[in-house]
Structure formats: C-alpha cells, structure tokens
Amino acid sequence: MTLKLYAHPFSSYCQKALTALYENGTPFELRLLSQDNPQVLAEFAALWPIKRFPVLVDGSRTVVEATIIIEYLGLYHPGPKPLLPADPRAALEVRSMDRFFDNYISTPQQKIVYDSLRPEAERDPRAVADARAMLDTSYAWLNNVIAEREWAAGDTFSLADCGAGPFLFYADWTHPIDPAFAHVRAYRQRLLARPSFARAVDEARPYRPLFPLGAPDRD
C-alpha cells in the first residue's frame, strides 16, 4: 500500500515531513494541496477537518502532525537512518529540541507571516513585536546550544533537524538571524547542505514568489 502525503512543497511543516521521507528514501505519493486539485482538497478536508498540513495516509490510517508523522514512519516504515535514538533517554533530548523548533521558532515565525496577510485594520502589532522578541530570544538560546553540536541533539541528524531546517530557513527570511548568532547561521547552512532538506528546498523554489513578506534573493 503506497503511503500518501497530503502536502504542499512550500509549507515548512510539509518540508519537515518530506525531509524525513527523503532522509530514508521512503516511497510515497504526494497528494498536492492546490486550488487546481479540488478532489485532493476535498479528500484532505474529509481526513482532517482542522485542515493543517501535512497529513499522512497509510492504508486506513490517517496520521497528523509532522512530528507524529516522522515518529510513525520510524515505527511502521523504518529506513536506514532512524530519526529517533533507540535509547529513550537520548530520544528525550531529540523530542525536546523538536518542541523548541516548533514552539519557539516556527510558531512566532508563522505569527508574523499570518499577520501580514490580514487586512491592515485587523493586524496585531503587539503580537508581531512579541513574536519578533521571541525569535531573538530563541536565536540567542540556540546559539549557545548549537555551538557545541553538529546537529540539534548532538552528532546524529534527527527528527529535531527535520524541523530545524525549514523553520530556521523561513525564520531567517522573516526576522533575520543577527550575525552575532554565528553558530545558528552556520547550523542553518549545514541544514541547507543536507541532501534531504536541500531537495525539499529545491522542490519549493518555484513557489518563492508566494512568500508574503517577499523572498530574499538567496538560499
């Protein structure tokens, strides 16, 4: 039974799941979420009324949330490169870093972008300022942590790096990482050089004009 991923290549959370799939060479069918594919959109809405993507379908099973999709793949469709350590104590550090990237890099980054899409009168400058402050705090914290590590949780590329790639990618476009955070910038470059994430970035290139704040001419 072919795995189906309901996703869009330009979406950061989809790139998180795609990086895991590419990392392990896991075969799947992309169900592209696009206004040009009303049938796919209808299937997606029926599968997950919350309508956040990606969503993975494995036979009769629907799996939501990028982190859970990656954990699910490791359990039911393992490949050559496990993205969570077998040792539960080591896995805790990976999960902790995964939560950091979701909650304190991606969430404030998305808040800034979604705010920019609202009509002027409905924007929330205070929330945007708070989100920018959170990103600065997160960059500073990460700069210390990643100074000692090649990957988010140590020497091995993991679940946490699958999210770190797209989230730092778009966070830097949204709220540039100050050159003072040299370790974060170097880590972002290591992620961009990782073939699995580089493939996701390349597949999303045609969609760059869609970036609401304007995509910079780099990366």
List contacts with ligand GSH (CB under 6 A).
Answer: 11-13, 51-53, 65-67
Q: Measured from the CB atom, is 66 or 159 closer to ligand GSH?
A: 66
Question: Omega before 82 cis (within 30°)?
Answer: no
**CB 173 → ligand GSH: shortest distance, Å?**
14
Q: Measured from the CB atom, is 37 or 144 closer to ligand GSH?
A: 37
Among 189, 183, 178, 163, CA closest to 105: 163
Q: Measured from the CB atom, is 183 or 215 closer to ligand GSH?
A: 215
Residue 5 DSSP SS3: strand
**CB 182 → ligand GSH: shortest distance, Å?**
28
**13-to-49, 56, 107, 139 alpha-carbon distances in Å:** 17, 12, 11, 19
**CB 34 → ligand GSH: shortest distance, Å?**
13
**CB 95 → ligand GSH: shortest distance, Å?**
13
Q: Measured from the CB atom, is 53 or 181 closer to ligand GSH?
A: 53
CA dihedral 48, 50, 52, 57 (to 10 degrees): -10
Strand partners, 62: 57
Q: Measured from the CB atom, is 70 or 142 closer to ligand GSH?
A: 70
Structure token digits, residue 45: 């809405």
Among 202, 170, 204, CA closest to 188: 170
**CB 107 → ligand GSH: shortest distance, Å?**
9
